Chain A
């Protein structure tokens, strides 16, 4: 009896979490006027909303922009984050603990504090309306550095010493010897960075005004807010579906990694 109750509870909860997604997809394939009647299946199936979306806003361009920016930021975080983490974990130099405290400090800083000055910085650098504004400030973050530092501390010193004896440069030690041993850490930092960059919308809205440079979340947001989508619910939902699709597909394939990475990130706070 108790078992039945628990399954009932879980099934109802699962329905609550899955149904809105299902509804969004079904409604995005329904004729505009019949969207209010959609319950489980598309009413009067049509792909017009998707065609209309690609015709009225540069959605394909925005998807490519998002992909480019997210890949660039993720690469930057993995390369520079592991370099900094390696230096902090394995090198002794003056000011090391000071830098460590700076990193902890920056992690506790709410972003509200740096939003305005960072925007002014972009204006002064002349980076507004360029990918530089989207990529460069995000290329290093404290979370990834701490993650790599912690991981590199567990690697035996003998291994690094042996590599140095063989005349390996520090870069080769890091990228050819340590990286292959750090796949789980790379995956965690990679997934978190890629996902946050792909989903971010506040920063792009602030620094990008030119439609051709917009990322997908920004383009869809402005489309949903601006007058162009007036009474075009189907197109809004089609845009949201397109924005969610890549990350949802990635999630379905790498579900376990996503959950573990996010849990690791959450506990760190």
Chain B
């Protein structure tokens, strides 16, 4: 079974080795030094670690609601008899298939302060220019907006599949009972697509913890570390400073956070199911 060998070497062994590494100090070249819990102690006192957690939260708090509203809204609009439906679907989905590098380079120019397209339009509308990538308060939200643009096409498709699986007889029955459009949406559609909503929230969460190339190319983690993401921090510790032990510790803690957040989201969904 080649699979067994592969999974042992590239998945199970690394998981074990990762835990082993967290108790050591190692720069790959020199000898490994046993340090006990020092890496964990360091993590609790590391301000940059907390910054990266906070940045991820900022990202998620903006990205998830934006994503849900846009994806569901456009899916509802597409889920009826409209002309050019395939064209619209195809257009919304286009950013999904290209590399994050492409999207990042493209948006870096759109976000430019002096001459960027977005600021120029704001000027046309008579608004102040925004330092999308240079203002610490705006940098992470800018990345969240860009990530929404990149991924929302996929979630539109998922919601469309979910919407089409709702039996039409339910709506007919509700209409006979005299329920309005909004009530139908609130009491039939939303509960019926709850599983899809959960998938979208989970995928967005994982995405938030996986940000790397976006800040790496656009801001290098700045300004003032306001876009330092979890993976970028692991990368810096591991491949900039060669603190392999500490980088592995960060990896484990972030992985546990993802699993925890997803677990909480699942509990929340199950509790709120009618």
Contact = CB atoms under 8 A, between A and B. Distances in A.
A198 to B, nearest CB: 7
Interface in B15-64: 15, 17-18, 21, 28
Interface of A: prevailing SS? helix
Nearest to B216: A225
B255 to A, nearest CB: 4
B239 interface: yes
Contacts of B192: none
Given A6-B77, A18-B94, A116-B251, A267 B199 contact: yes
A85 B212 CA distance: 32
Interface string B148-162: 010001110110010
A57 interface: no
Most chain B CB neighbours (cut-off 10 Å) among A39, A113, A118, A251: A113
A201 interface: yes
A218 B195 CA distance: 36
A201 B254 CA distance: 20
A56 interface: no
Contacts of B206: 110
Interface of B: prevailing SS? helix
Given A110-B258, A116-B18, A202-B213, A10 B110 contact: no
Contacts of A220: 101, 105
B115 A36 contact: yes
B259 A102 contact: no
A187 interface: no
B213 A201 contact: yes
B67 interface: no
B217 A224 contact: yes
Contacts of A83: 2-3
Given A201-B100, A201-B213, A117 B161 contact: no
Given A199-B99, A247-B97, A118 B10 contact: yes
B157 A263 contact: yes
Most chain A CB neighbours (cut-off 10 Å) among B3, B95, B216, B255: B3
B39 to A, nearest CB: 12
B82 interface: yes
A117 B6 contact: no
Contacts of B28: 120, 123
A256 to B, nearest CB: 8
A217 interface: yes
Contacts of A118: 10, 14
20 contacts: A6-B80, A13-B74, A17-B95, A18-B94, A20-B149, A24-B105, A36-B112, A106-B7, A106-B11, A110-B206, A113-B255, A114-B11, A119-B239, A201-B99, A221-B216, A224-B217, A244-B98, A244-B102, A263-B154, A263-B158
Interface of A: 6-7, 9-10, 13-14, 16-18, 20-21, 23-24, 27, 35-36, 39, 80, 83-84, 87, 99, 102-103, 106, 108-121, 123, 137, 139-140, 145, 195, 198-199, 201-202, 206, 217, 220-221, 224-225, 233, 236-237, 239-241, 243-244, 247-248, 251, 255, 258-259, 262-263, 266-267, 269
